[in-house]
Amino acid sequence: MTPCAIGTDVGGTFTDLVFCTASGEVHCFKVPSTPSRPGESILTGVDEISDALHPDAPTWRDAHHTHSSTVATNALIERRGARIGMITTVGFRDLFELQRLAIPHPMRFDSRRPLPLVPRELVREVRGRIGADGVEVAPLHEQDVIDAARALVAAGVELAVVTLIHSYRNAAHEQLVRAIIQRHGIDLRVDLSSDVWPQAREYERAVLTAINATVRPIVEAYVGRLGDGLTERGLAMPARIARSNGGAELAHTVRDRPVVALLSGPAAGVAGAADAAEDAGWANADLMTLDVGGTSADIGVIRDGAPVLSSEELVGDFPVLIPTVAVSSIGAGGGSIIWLDTTGSLKVGPRSVGADPGPACYGSG
């Protein structure tokens, strides 16, 4: 007998749930999202499914459940993530300031490079260097690491990004940074670029690691709350999270590298649209998908019936150079806040009213 299945999608304003019974019946549910406690809206929706349909215990226990979310995407677009710092090789403090020396719109006089996730005052340099061939040129200076870590802690940093030059060739120095911090009992969590994306292109690798660190506490809380809540409700099958490449992986493994699920919701939407197109007789069609939510608008492309994959997508202002379904997300949704900048120009987004207080039609302030 085919097990029943639950699919959920957490947006910034609404959470949608679909329950498919073993006989193929489909039931849809919609509940407000809970931005202050990501994942709790899923548990509310699961309770509604249980109260409305009363599935028997064995069916409920063995239900497959896969979850997609824009929690990380929205946090990045709205820059609501953790306060992070960076430890890098001496001489590379301005990695985020220089970026690629290009401006987004060269023909506009007001075009500016995006503000980095790590401000310059939270970047610390350490001596020591790995060469481009992976051979140590100069040993890592331990006292530099200790001083850098303590300075970042004093500045209120929650997570430090460690991006040392050529660590994609040899991760020994980055791993030693983590070991030194732990050995000296410094209360600072670190994300190593060699763990997150061990490939060349220093700026892009640093950005990807910074994104990972920025959204990590939010995703950890989301996954923890989700796992505990579903277990309490009798769902024995482990939760799976949709990945940015259209696949899925166990939720507990996403905690360490949440950047792989950064485009979880949008990617799952494009994959679902491709399946819907096939069911409609458009098996080999070229299509564009558009998903306008409360916080962001996501645009995807389907070629010859399959989602287009890319390793050079943008989420907000930032390049995401890991294999993903080609989705571009911008901070312009139905709940985006209209505001005036310092020159009096009208702007829309990226901040959103989300689910609390929600759009004006909610009538809740």
**Statement: residue 117 has pLDDT above 80:** yes
In this structure, are 89 and 144 located in the same domain? yes
> 1 falls in which pLDDT band (50, 70, 90)?
low
Residue 338 lies in a domain: no
Residue 138 lies in a domain: yes
Residue 170 lies in a domain: yes
Residue 270 lies in a domain: no
127 CA to centre of own chain = 31
Residues 6+ apart with CB under 8 A from 31: 14, 15, 17, 41, 44, 45, 48
In this structure, are 90 and 184 located in the same domain? yes
Decide: helix, strand or coil at residue 41: helix
CB atoms within 10 A of CB 265: 30
In this structure, are 113 and 201 located in the same domain? yes
Residue with tokens 């959204």: 215
CATH label of the domain that carries residue 226: 3.30.420.40
**Statement: residue 353 has pLDDT above 80:** no
- Mean of the pLDDT values across residues 88-117? 83
In 3D space, the residue among 183, 109, 95, 111 whose CA is nearest the CA of residue 143 turns out to be: 183
Give the residue with greater pLDDT, 165 vs 56. 165
**Statement: residue 315 has pLDDT above 70:** yes
Query: Residue 5 and residue 63: Cα distance in Å, rounded?
Result: 5
Residue 206 lies in a domain: yes
Percent of the chain with pLDDT over 90: 37
**Statement: residue 62 has pLDDT above 90:** no
AA letter at 9: D
In this structure, are 151 and 104 located in the same domain? yes
Given 175, 193, 215, the domain boundary residue is: 215
Decide: helix, strand or coil at residue 159: strand
Query: Residue 327 and residue 70: Cα distance in Å, rounded?
Result: 12
> 214 falls in which pLDDT band (50, 70, 90)?
very high
Give the residue with greater pLDDT, 139 vs 347. 139
In this structure, are 166 and 208 located in the same domain? yes
In this structure, are 62 and 136 located in the same domain? no
Residue 328 lies in a domain: no
In this structure, are 142 and 115 located in the same domain? yes
- Mean of the pLDDT values across residues 192-220? 90
In this structure, are 89 and 196 located in the same domain? yes
Given 242, 263, 284, the domain boundary residue is: 263
- Torsion angle defined by CA atoms of residues 35, 41, 43 and 49, in that order, rounded to the nearest 10 degrees: -170
Residue 359 lies in a domain: no
User: What is residue 254's predicted lDDT score, i.e. its pLDDT?
Assistant: 87
**Statement: residue 61 has pLDDT above 90:** no
Q: Using one digit for the tens of pLDDT, what is the confidence trace for 262-313?
A: 888 888 889 889 988 998 988 888 999 988 877 778 888 899 988 988 877 7
In this structure, are 42 and 94 located in the same domain? no
Residue 57 lies in a domain: yes
AA letter at 119: P
Domain count, the chain: 2
In this structure, are 88 and 209 located in the same domain? yes
Q: Using one digit for the tens of pLDDT, what is the confidence trace for 146-198?
A: 999 999 999 999 999 999 999 999 999 999 999 999 999 999 999 999 999 88
Residue pair 86/326 in contact (Cβ under 8 Å)? The answer is: no
> 2 falls in which pLDDT band (50, 70, 90)?
low
When the pLDDT of each residue in the chain is averaged and rounded to a whole number, the result is: 87
In this structure, are 129 and 106 located in the same domain? yes
Q: Domain limits at 209?
A: 84-215
User: What is residue 55's predicted lDDT score, i.e. its pLDDT?
Assistant: 84
In this structure, are 229 and 201 located in the same domain? no
Given 177, 192, 215, the domain boundary residue is: 215
Percent of the chain with pLDDT over 70: 99
